[in-house]
Amino acid sequence: METYSSGPLLELNKAIPSFEESGLPPLPFSMKLMPGDCVVVEVRDAARATMFADICSGLVPLDGGNVSFMGLDWTQMKDRALNALRGRIGRITRRASWPEFVPTHIAIMLQQLHHTTRPQDDLLQEAARLAEWFGLPGLPTLSPALLSDTDLCRAACVRAFLGRPHLLLLEDPLEGGPQELANPFLGAITEARDRGAGVIWLVRGNAVWQRYRQGITASWRLADDGLAAVRMA
């Protein structure tokens, strides 16, 4: 993966999300994420956090402003470019996102198989390595419905970090997830940042990320009055 170094990785420029589509307050959101940055966004409402990640991924229509990823405005691109660009985003979401019709290992690789042209064997190797990294005995091959919640949480981490993404939109897996996931998760974030990825870590409270506060670039809060920067003590 080449490191993107020509400006902000992700830029929200007075982006006003459509209230009808997202339920977010129709206020201008402005934020810049540079390569290697790790930004914590505190959002109390899980559904709202998912919507914010959708905005960053260019999935929510805007009433004004724009959202650019790697210097490209989401609204100005055609499908092929959109798909290729979204292949560079890794996400952990609390929205139900596991297909029931394929085994978990396929579900993990589905995003990369869809958005990129990487060979399946490569993906399999990388996924298996990440699975072990995140505390699984291997790549789960059962249906996602048969996995326990903690294993599904680990599988979600595997899926997010698979393909060495440029942008990571992570709805916090630690709260409610297995405690021993913390080290691999923070390790994976650090590793991703080291290679130039930007991380947006969507948390519910500030207790979760205190262990990693030295590594946090900026802290924001998303509430009814919009997106506001929070001074880090």
Partner 1 sequence: MRRVLLHLMLPFFLTVLAVVAIAWVGYTSYRTTQAGVSRLTHELLEAVQLNIGQEVADYIMPAVTGNQVASGMIAHAPVQVQDRVFYAYASTVLREAPQLQSFYLADEQGSFMLVTRGTQKGLLDRVRLVSKGTSRVFHHELYDEHDTKVKEWDADAKDYDPRTRPWYADTNGVNGIKWTQPFLFPDDGQFVMTSSVRFKGGDGHTLVFAANISLNQLSAYLEKIKIGNSGSAMIVDSKGRIMAGRNLTQQARAAGWNPDKMVINPKDEPVFSLGYDHYRVRGFGPHNVTTNGQHYITMASALPRYSEGWVLLIAVPAQDFASFGRQSSRQSLQFAGIIVVFSIFVGGLFIRQVRRTERGTRQLATQQAQITLESAAVRQVAMAPQLFDPSVEPLVLTTQLARVTQARRASLWRFLHDGAAMVCEESYDLTQDIHTGGFEMGGPELAKFFAAINEGAPFTVGTAAADERTAAFERLVMREIGTRTLAVYPVSGPKGVLGMIALEDPTLLPHLQYFLDLTTNIAGTRFAAQQVLEQHAAQAPAGQAPDRPPPAALAPVLTDNMLMHVPELETLQGASIYSSVAVLVITFSDPVVEGEQEVTALITLINQLAMDVQAIAAEEQLFAVEVAGHRMICMAGCTAAPDPGALSRVADAALRMRETFMAALAAADLEPVFTMGIDYGTAFGGAVGQSPKVFNLWGQTVSLAELMAEGASDPGVIQVTERVYAALRDRYLFRSRGAFFAPHLGLGRAYTLAARR
Query: What minimum distance in Å lies between the beta carbon of 123 and partner 1?
Result: 12
Distance CA 138, CA 195 (A): 25
Q: Which is nearer to partner 1, 64 or 138 (CB)?
A: 138
Closest to 51 (Cα-Cα) out of 95, 113, 90 = 95
Backbone angles phi, psi at 188, to 5 degrees: -65, -40
Q: Compare residues 180 and 191 and give the one whose CB is closer to partner 1.
A: 180
CB of 87 to partner 1, least distance (A): 23
Using CB under 8 A, list all residues that contact partner 1. Answer: 105, 124-125, 128, 131-132, 135-143, 146-148, 150-151, 178-180, 183
Q: DSSP characters for 149-216?
A: HHHHHHHHHHHHHTT--SEEEEE-SSTTS-GGGHHHHHHHHHHHHHTT-EEEEEESSTTTTGGGGGG-
Q: Is the CB of 101 or the CB of 224 nearer to partner 1? A: 101
> CB of residue 104 vs partner 1: minimum separation in angstroms?
8
Token pair, residue 2, equals 């080449």
Nearer Cβ to partner 1, position 38 or 108?
A: 108
Report CA 115 to chain centroid distance, whole Å. Answer: 15
The residue (of 143 and 206) whose beta carbon lies closer to partner 1 is 143
Smallest gap from Cβ 14 to partner 1, in A, equals 43
| Cα 140 from Cα 155, distance rounded (Å) | 8
Nearest approach, Cβ of 210 to partner 1 (angstroms)? 13
CB atoms within 10 A of CB 85: 19
Q: How far is the CB of 57 from partner 1 (least distance, A)?
A: 29
89 or 127: whose CB is closer to partner 1?
127
Enter the tokens of residue 105: 């290992």
